Amino acid sequence: MNSRVAAPGAATTPQPNLAYTCANKLVPSDRLPLSMFDRNLLGINEFGETVYCDVIYRNLLVAGEPGGGKSGLLNNIAAHAALSHNTRLVLFDAKLVELGPWRHCADEFVGFDVRNGTFDIEHGLDVLRRLLIVAKNRYTWLLHHRGRKIAREDALSIIVIIIDELAMFTTVFGTKAQREEFAELLRGLVALGRACGMPVIAATQRPSWDIIPASLRDLFGFRAAFRCTTLNSSDIILGQGWAQQGFNANDIRPTNQGEAFLIAEGGIPQRIKAAYLSDSEIYRIADYATWTRRHIAATSVAHAA
């Protein structure tokens, strides 16, 4: 699995409805082409079969050593969400540049201030507080409409929350009290968001107890373990005992970026190669998504007038 796999939208991917195909259009569409209710293409497995994942009702934890390919998986999901109809993005990026290309598509982008190099963790806390209020309101709506989870026909927007370098928010930025509040608010959002159309995708290097509380880590039903430096680190990501059964992310070669063990719908880890988007492809898709979203918003305002 050393070959590079084209991501959803790369020109070499023979898929009919993927992001790059849309981004090659010369004019914006009146409707974004995808939906979060569509399965998200993540890459291929070791047999060359395409790997899809239902992100809509799940929370996904992505972890592994630096340079292993985590950001590639995050950008695949961000690209799908940005090109999805009736979908809103909320992004947290400690490094600014991994999710930064999608910031103009997002309702909220939480990163450090490039003018002074500081991080306003209060902004992040305020965003999480507001997201929790939205989640609670959605459950009230579901109860009133006799439902237990958001469905496509409900026509409610899907809010996709993506966090890169989660450890920075729980161990570095702000005061100890602010970091603890961030973890507490996020734990509530991960617990509540799944069924009300607010999935959380979070990436970090090693989600050990001193970085991410176990009570938060265990709420992520889907896991992706990129290369790890130790067997224990692999088990922390995938779950205790998987490494002894042969699912050990420490066995992944350092030169094989993008390879990971994924626990998704089947409940058993499978070896995958995450699809790849180059920087230019990411920005091209992000620009198209931003352009189209603005066109749709402007058209809606014009029709309302």
Closest CA to 167 of 219, 201, 131, 212: 212
Q: Is 278 annotated as a binding residue?
A: no
Residue 82 · residue 105 · CB < 8 Å? yes
d(CA 139, CA 220): 20
Rounded to two decimals, the pTM is 0.89
Q: Is 84 annotated as a binding residue?
A: no
d(CA 109, CA 15): 30
Residue 266 · residue 221 · CB < 8 Å? no
The two counts, helices (H) then strands (E), for the chain are: 8, 10
Residue 183 · residue 216 · CB < 8 Å? yes
Q: Is 70 annotated as a binding residue?
A: yes
Q: Is 111 annotated as a binding residue?
A: no
- Domains by residue range for the chain, with CATH: 19-304 (3.40.50.300)
What integer pLDDT is reported at residue 30 of this predicted model? 63
Return per-residue pLDDT of the chain as tens, 305 residues: 555 555 544 433 333 334 444 445 545 566 788 999 999 999 999 999 999 999 999 999 999 999 999 999 999 999 999 999 999 999 999 999 999 999 999 999 999 876 666 788 999 999 999 999 999 999 999 999 999 999 999 999 999 999 999 999 999 999 999 999 999 999 999 999 999 999 999 999 988 877 888 889 899 999 999 999 999 999 999 998 999 999 999 999 999 999 999 998 888 999 999 999 999 999 999 999 999 999 888 877 666 65
Q: Is 149 annotated as a binding residue?
A: no
- Can you say how many angstroms the Cα of residue 21 is from the centroid of all Cα atoms in its chain? 21
d(CA 13, CA 42): 12
